[in-house]
Amino acid sequence: MIERYTRPEMGRVWSEESKYQAWLRVELVVCEAYARRGRIPEDAMARIRQKARVDIARLLAVQERVKHEMIALLTSLEEQLGPDSRFVHIGLTTNDVWDTATALQLRDAADLLIAGQERLRQALGALALRHKDTLTVGRTHGVHAEPTSFGLKAAVWYAEAGRNLERLRRARAVIAVGKLSGAVGNFAHVEPEIEAEVCRALGLEAAPVSTQIVQRDRHAEFGAMLAVAAASLEKIALEVRGLQRTEILEAQEPFAEGQKGSSAMPHKRNPELSERICGLARLIRTNALAALENVALWHERDISHSSVERVILPDSTITLDYILHLTTFIVEKLDVDPARMAENLELSHGLVYSQRVLLKLTDAGLPRQVAYEIVQRNAMRAWKERRPFFDLLAADPAVTERLSPGELKGCFDPAWYLRNVDAIFKRVGLLT
């Protein structure tokens, strides 16, 4: 992922230095397991602990010649350790180390994503509570529907963020799995007890069964979970974009002092952060598809998945980390305009109260379809003639013979639509 979208902590997880450090860590923990069994003499183990280091410059130089990353690491270690290097990589194949080390990186990346998701959820909860009783118009199909609470909109996001938090925790568990079962997974040269002990020491689960690799359905599931989390961020960003449209202008993303929106039009204040989130979420979805393509490999494995994962695993975690941070920033600094929301609520001439009138008429004894036709007839006139819906209803004998002026007026009380908001907030855990 390009530097523009890479936050430092997540970037460090996927640096070349971190990758090789994880490889070396796996090799050393395997050596420790063998040393405890007497296969590696204690004095040799002490020298290995002291001397084994990651030398990136040397690794890359050797790799240029041998065209194999693991052999480059082992060659570098041989230069450092001399005769003691014969105790390194006993019975292992490249993917024993590679997949187990990648699990360490993915686990660390998942921890950062979980922390980011927790911060976003807290920000969404605060936004929801702040605007619990802020009236706004609900829209379905992009058209005015009924009054609702802006806080309720944020409460929906809050609940979804909680589900994504659980998804990311499950994704962490699914991916935190190592293997040391050898070239085809049959433990021909390493005992299962070694694998279990090493994985335990690394804080990983041992794969119950494997081929030369940890099975890629795990990585596909991980990628899918990231894609779902990204889609939820896109959902929030898309709503902000919609609300920032000039014709609506009920909420705007942060706009810093001195910031410019357009090189040509000085008046522009564009939702470019939200647009960036929507764009980057597409990448994470695309990478999830690539992860699914990696599940089916030839026999005990081929290497077609490897080149893909070098891109999608860092890129998806780095990108999700970035847009989690960006979404949290937008939510925390969102410029909400309750006055504009109140104005927009009146734009449709009171038509947002049509269902209340419909139900009042049915309560008064009219068949539903008859009541529907009366209300719809007046609603269409209100649209066409740009007249208050209430005035048309109050002048219609089909309505006034069933409803008193007070009953009709009561249908147009926006507070009615907030009466159950507290109950909803309790259900999602925002109120006790």
- Show the CA angle centred on residue 227, arms to residues 221 and 261, nearest 5°: 165
- How far is residue 384's CA from residue 403's CA, in Å, rounded to a whole number? 24
Tokens representing 360 are 């009042």
Residue 177: enclosing H or E segment and its boundaries?
strand 177-178
Tokens representing 297 are 């490999």
Inter-residue contact 359 to 269 (CB < 8 Å): no
- Residue 238 burial (10 A CB sphere; 0-12, 13-18, 19+): middle
- How far is residue 228's CA from residue 247's CA, in Å, rounded to a whole number? 31
Annotated catalytic residues are 141, 262
Q: Which residues contact 237 (CB under 8 A, 6 or more apart)?
A: 271, 273, 274, 275, 277, 278, 281, 327, 330
- How far is residue 272's CA from residue 278's CA, in Å, rounded to a whole number? 10
- How far is residue 231's CA from residue 268's CA, in Å, rounded to a whole number? 27
- How far is residue 349's CA from residue 415's CA, in Å, rounded to a whole number? 17
| Cβ neighbours, 10 Å, residue 101 | 22
Tokens representing 183 are 């070239």
Q: Tokens 């005769």 label which residue?
A: 83
What is the b/e burial string over 327-347, where b = at least 16 CB atoms within 10 angstroms of the residue's CB? bbebbeebebbeebbeebbee
- How far is residue 257's CA from residue 231's CA, in Å, rounded to a whole number? 30
- Show the CA angle centred on residue 84, arms to residues 81 and 86, nearest 5°: 110
Inter-residue contact 225 to 170 (CB < 8 Å): yes
- How far is residue 383's CA from residue 143's CA, in Å, rounded to a whole number? 13
